[in-house]
Amino acid sequence: MNNEDLNSTDDSPTKGIDEVVHQRVRLGLLTILNGARRVEFRFLQESMALTAGNLSQHIRVLEEAGLVRVTKGVDGRRPRTWVSITHNGRTALHVEVASLKALIERVESAN
């Protein structure tokens, strides 16, 4: 690869990386949510080893981006919060994974 190749912006190895999705915790949340219809807040908190406040902040970012939906309700007598991935969230996750795969392939092919 020469300098001309490195200066090409059309082939940027990170062009598909979305800053909202790519953040470690949010990528983990979307990955968990992708495998279920909806997930209870406390399960996410325990699975990701986060404080309630930290998890709430990450969910808020994803919700504002339209990538997750938050539903509040009651299960028995206990208030619950459930989080589910939206169609746009699922699409964004798949784009992110494809971008990461392309990045890995590029690194491996350079060796």
Q: Can you give the pTM of this predicted structure?
A: 0.85
Using alpha carbons, select from 35, 41, 50 the residue that is nearest to residue 89.
35
Band (110; pLDDT cuts 50, 70, 90): confident
List the chain domain ranges. Answer: 17-100
pLDDT of residue 10: 59
Q: Is the pLDDT of residue 1 over 70?
A: no
Band (14; pLDDT cuts 50, 70, 90): confident
Cα-based distances in Å from 73 to 26, 32, 36, 110 = 23, 21, 18, 52
CATH class, domain 17-100, is mainly alpha
The whole-angstrom separation of Cα 100 and Cα 77 is 43
